[in-house]
Amino acid sequence: MYKIVRKKCLTDNIIYMDIYAPRIAASCKPGQFIIVINDEKGERIPLTIADYDAEAGTVAIVFQTVGKSTRDLAEYEEGDSVADFVGPLGRPSDLCSLDDTELKEKKIIFVCGGVGTAPVYPQVKYLFNRGIDCDVIIGARNKDLLILTEEMKKVATNLYIATDDGSFGFKGNGSQLLTKLVREDKKEYNHAVVIGPMIMMKFTSMTTKELGIPTIVSLNPIMVDGTGMCGACRVTVGDEIKFACVDGPEFDGHKVNYDEAMRRQAMYKTEEGRAMLAAEDNKNGHKCGCGGGK
């Protein structure tokens, strides 16, 4: 059992929790994810690590209540425990593999939307602790949906806020703000990290490609069981088939087939869709093991 030592509501349906898991906290790196299981009958919930403290032995998760499992998890309070907390899983951010000289050659911009702000934070904090500058754009539909802005201010070199309705910061989305920074404010970037909803990553990657900025995206949003067995997170990257949970979650944002990934994501939500995906995968020689409509 893994105890919840801190809980707070970031918005009406976005929850922050610190989970006491010392062995995981000692091994975490930015970009990785964990799997939460609420109770002995609970589903696997893959969540990108939002922060970690090796000394305190805690790992932070941030999640949005979108289905039964996350709604149930949101009912847990400080002092309660989840049945299982597995990780760290997935490959760390590519930034972790670079030495200080290589990092200092990069002019990094992070663009995050909604809950995607959470997995961006540990990467920015990691760079801050190594003395590496980076800029961050946080986008949301309105100011009430912004999260972790105060935390991000402490570690980002420059923090820019965009809201669709103009209720805070720049009026528009993160892609539009990035375009303004580059074309009007003459900011220069040679590395972008984009994390958020799939549709946001698709269009922001289109923008960075137009601007000539190499881009990394995190495909955590399409993961279901976090092991590659369900087949839900199978995605085409360039001319290769990848699984977000075992090969990622980070990939070259200019090579991801977003439309295919979003189609699979939508189909997986229904029993009929899972059966169709299983048949499709088996026909193409990809044994997903999801059991189709069972």
Over residues 63-111, the pLDDT tens digits come to: 998 888 899 999 999 999 999 998 898 889 999 999 999 999 999 999 9
pTM for the whole thing? Answer: 0.85
Q: What CATH number does the domain containing 25 carry? A: 2.40.30.10
Last residue of a domain, one of 181, 198, 218: 218
Same domain, 9 and 112: no
The verdict on 267 and 202 lying in the same domain is: no
Identify whether 262 is part of a domain: yes
| Span 97-109, pLDDT tens digits | 999 999 999 999 9
Whether 23 contacts 58, CB under 8 Å = no
Does residue 94 lie within any of the structural domains? no
Last residue of a domain, one of 89, 117, 150: 89
Please tell me whether residues 206 and 117 are part of one structural domain: yes
Domain that holds residue 24: 2-89
Q: Distance of CA 8 to CAs 2, 55, 66, 239, 248, Å?
A: 17, 21, 17, 42, 29
Q: What total number of domains does the chain contain?
A: 3
| Ranges of residues in the chain whose predicted pLDDT is under 70 | 221-233, 265, 267-294
Helix 258-267 and helix 271-283: axis angle, to 10°? 130
Regarding whether 211 and 115 lie in a shared domain, the answer is: yes
Pick from 218, 252, 272: which residue ends a domain? 218
